[in-house]
Structure 1
Amino acid sequence: MTGFLDVLRGAVTDVSTAPADLATAAIDRSGARPDGLPLAVVRAVDVADVQATLRLAGEHGVPVVPRGAGTGLAGGALAGRGAVVLDVSGLDRIVEIDPDDELAVVEAGVVTAELDRAAQKSGLRYAPDPASAELSTIGGNIATNAGGMRCVKYGVTREAVLGLDVVLADGRLLHTGRRTVKGVAGLDLTALFVGSEGTLGVVVGATLRLRPRPERTLTAAAAYDSVEAAAQACSELIRQRREPSLLELLDGATLAVIDRAQGSDFAARGQALVIAQADGPAADGEIAAIADVLGREATWSERGVDPESSERLLFARRMALPSIERFGRALIEDICVPRSRLAAAFRGVERIARQYDVAIYAFAHAGDGNLHPIVAYDGPELPDAVRRAGDDLFALALDLGGTVTGEHGIGLLKRDWLARETGPDVTAVYGSIKAALDPHGILNPGKGF
């Protein structure tokens, strides 16, 4: 590969083979480890660097692993022996904020929260809000079709993407989509690339829909004597056609570990906690109706009437994962079930925890049925009981008519389960699309499907 590296160094701005750079760029937040160090890291500073890297990699048969901030949780950015890591986080310009058409044009390396703050100056916001918003990049969000707490009202990343700039495996730069809210000219290639995890092309830019920033956001919280009662309260909100902008549920194990880490007393209020928000001009009436439903079977309830009290009620949800990770390692899972099966999903999580004698902390974006069962463990290696519990969590999702991932993606860790979920005919179609766009199979091989 010496010849390839020499050619690559002559064609792109920044190529590193330093062991420390290779080790850092080879991993993500999934906890999985690759089979060795990659060949090199390319730190792209412009689209031309991305094009040259892919063109040369294709000519030499070298696999390329696209990478943003490395915050992925499914092994989608793992880069093993012989691969080139293509780091696009340096493409970090906010090219345009258009307040009249309520859109932004950005490069792939823009940090999610930075875009939201830039939009705020025009009274707008970028609605998708993954938990990693202060670290994750727009390109990574698009690659995984990332979600977040506001998805119940505003949808996942796909709903915010109007158009893309994508570099194909042969180095061609493709422009998809449009700047208009509506548009049905041709096949929807934009939607094809959203969620494709870098297996079909490398996203280098995006035209994104922005939303008006609500003048008013109000919060309600309620505790329950069981996670089933909490899940049923969330389901009742949906049945009554309420429209929360956020609807989160935390189980008793999660409340207990938050109390242990933060010195709080959430577990004293009940064995599960639901937090809801409503925003916009009708927020007062909506949150009152939501609070009425949540309060019927609650052991405790409270309303947030201003930003300070609302943020205090959201504290438990924001501290859930940091509190779990304070006491050891965590296998961070991501399943989604029909909203009507939420209570059954939490029952299943509790059963799996007992069966394998492992600690599982479960919280959910209850408004869209997306659960995060977090399996805790000690030590550097993933214990067999934890691995088997994870497999049973995926099986639980499928048994309940759900999916093995709601927002984290398939990556390397869920490939076998994707095949079980979709079946051979669908995976064959995936393969045909992959072969058409990446005939030499250099783009993020082994990931997604």
Structure 2
Amino acid sequence: MTEVVAPDRLIADLPEGAVVTDADILAAYRQDRAQDPDAGTPLALVRPTSTAEVQTVVRWCNEHRVPLTTRGAGTSLSGGSTAVDGAIMLSTEKMRSIDIDTATRTAVVQPGLLNAEVKAAAAEKGLWYPPDPSSFEICSIGGNVATNAGGLCCVKYGMTADYVLGLEAVLADGRVVRLGGKQIKDSAGLSLTKLFVGSEGLLGVITEVTLRLLPPQASASTVVGSFASVHQASEAVLAVTARIRPAMLEFMDRASINAVEDMLKMGLDRDAGALLVAQSDAPGPAGAAEVEIIQRAFEENGATEVFATDDPQEGEAFTAARRAAIPAVERKGSLLLEDVGVPLPQLPPLIDGVAAISERRDVTIAVIAHAGDGNTHPLIVFDPADADEHDRAQLAFGEIMDLAISLGGTITGEHGVGRLKKAWLPDQVGPDVMDLTATIKNALDPHGLLNPGVLL
């Protein structure tokens, strides 16, 4: 049995209050948004404010061989920041500085700042940070980088990785490395910056990120289509994306429509089998042409109603409805949240296949999707007190990932593998890639201290 090391020296070496051992506070940090019932209890919670303080924590962990879990805002949907028994929980929530450089259109950000706060700070300078997860108001930039988060507009504007120009990270042995910078082009050496994006805390603790910003997004026109079936809606998605790349193309099925309507009471069609919300932000005549293409694609694929608007408030109302889907469905019971994606031509069989799994396992599965890039979020609803239903939900969870892999897709488009999905990762990437991943992990963290239990 491993001897428990008291964090006395760590407490002494850090500012007062940075290290917390109060049991009630530790309990609040055991689980993240995934609500893993097997979450452990950390040895201590540490809330640093600087890279130097993170170095102190990591060096102490390395010296005493104490594992370390890094946590952002705790919004992980794959268990990426679930606590481990006897480990240090390092929360970046107090690392919140930001500096906007309008000359280079960049933001240098500490990881604890929320996505929404980065957007707001950029907007004050007349700039825009595009990545927009549905949880943008509560998720942190550090967590976004760790999982390569996407969002509603990534169909046109890309993922978090497309906006990370540089970063600073503390390695497992306490060294600090600075990768990339404010320059747009940089081909010097291996692309180590991109290696850290999406690495889920396995390779180091990210303490600063340099983000690329864009000019403000143009006003968007919104097109909403109601469909009798999810299959018709998924075919309409293909019809749109074959012609244009919209600024947004989101999908909701009947279960998610009704859950959102129960919560927001905004007049959504409860009888619709599916709803598509699309946007074009192309300027002038090009935007009008895109709206026409979207409308025609919806109508030709069986839409029972098509509504278009240039009113920003009306468009935002439908966007808000889509963003509200997960908390709305969560009101119906406990959730197992999927994040599977497929090549766009495989979207119809994926959505049809999820419906078949739902029927076969007799569990409710509400499906929402960033349909324009093939990334779906099947939400499995179950009662944890019903042992049989719990087991059926778990089987459905695995079968959905098996289905995505069989269609040439992925078990995660933007949430990360975390702890909940790692059993399926070898089936997607194969043994050679798993071996290569382990080789990189072992080279940078030979004692396996960083985020143990995640991904590998």
CA distance in 1, matches of 2:51, 2:39: 29
SS of equivalent residue, structure 1 residue 335: coil
Per-residue displacement from partner, 1:335-354 (whole Å, max 9, x unpaired)? 00111111111111110001
| Off by >4 Å, runs of 4+ in structure 1 | 1-4
1:173 corresponds to which residue?
176
Question: In structure 2, how many angstroms separate the alpha carbons of the residues matched to 1:381 and 1:412?
Answer: 23
Aligned to 1:354: 359
**How many residue pairs align between the two structures?**
447
Structure-2 residue corresponding to 1:262: 264
Counterpart residue number, 2:7: 5
Among 275, 278, 300, which residue is 1:276 paired with?
Answer: 278
Q: Given residue 216 of structure 2, which amino acid in structure 1 is its aligned partner?
A: R
Which amino acid letter does the alignment assign opposite residue 234 of structure 1? V
Question: Would you say the 8 A contact 1:31–1:331 is kept in 2?
Answer: no
Amino acid at match of 1:414: K
> Is contact 2:40–2:82 with CA below 8 Å preserved after alignment?
no
Per-residue CA shift, 1:221-263, capped at 9, x if unaligned?
Answer: 11111111110011011112x1201100111222222233333
Distance 2:157 2:363 in 1: 35
Give, in whole Å, the separation in 1 of the partners of 2:385 and 2:152: 30
Contact 1:275 1:313 (8 Å CA) reproduced: yes
Matches of 2:155 and 2:108 in 1, distance apart? Answer: 25
- 1:286 alignment counterpart: 290
Alpha-carbon contact 1:270-1:300 (below 8 Å) kept: no
Does residue 55 (structure 1) correspond to residue 59 (structure 2)? The answer is yes
Superposed, 1:410-421 pairs within 5 Å as 410-421=417-428
* Residue in 2 that maps onto 1:244: 246
Map of 1:338 onto structure 2: 343
- Give the alignment's Cα RMSD to 1 decimal: 1.5
The equivalent of 1:24 in structure 2 is 28
Percent identity between the two aligned chains: 42
Shift of 1:265: 4.2
When normalised by structure 2's length, the TM-score is: 0.95
Q: Does 1:391 align with 2:395?
A: no
The amino acid across from 1:396 in the alignment is L
**Deviation, structure 1 residue 290:** 1.9
1:133 aligns with 2:140: no
Give the C-alpha shift of residue 322 in structure 1: 2.1
**Cα distance, 1:417 vs structure 2:** 0.4
- CA shift for structure 1 position 379: 3.6
The one-letter amino acid paired with 1:310 is G
**Whole-Å Cα distance in 1 between the matches of residues 338 and 365 of structure 2?**
10
The structure 2 residue matched to 1:66, chosen from 70, 81, 93, is 70
State the secondary structure of the residue aligned to 2:303: coil
Map 1:157-236 onto structure 2 (within 5 A). Answer: 157-236=160-239
On the 8 A contact 1:349/1:393 being kept in 2, the answer is: yes
User: Could you tell me how far 1:4 is from its partner in structure 2?
Assistant: 4.2
> Does the 8 A contact of 2:257 with 2:270 survive in 1?
no
Structure 1: runs of 5 or more not aligned:
none
Rounded to whole Å, the distance in 2 between the matches of 1:295 and 1:35 is 48
Could you say what secondary structure the match of 2:306 adopts? strand
Given that 1:26 and 1:34 are in contact with CA atoms closer than 8 Å, whether structure 2 keeps it comes out as: no
Say which is worse superposed, 251-260 or 19-28, in terms of deviation: 251-260
Q: 1:324 is matched with which residue? A: 329
CA distance in structure 2 between the partners assigned to 1:250 and 1:49 by the alignment? 44
Contact 1:253 1:361 (8 Å CA) reproduced: yes
CA contact (8 A) 1:223 1:269 kept: no
Indicate which of 315, 318, 323 corresponds to 1:313. Answer: 318
The TM-score normalised by the length of structure 1 is 0.96
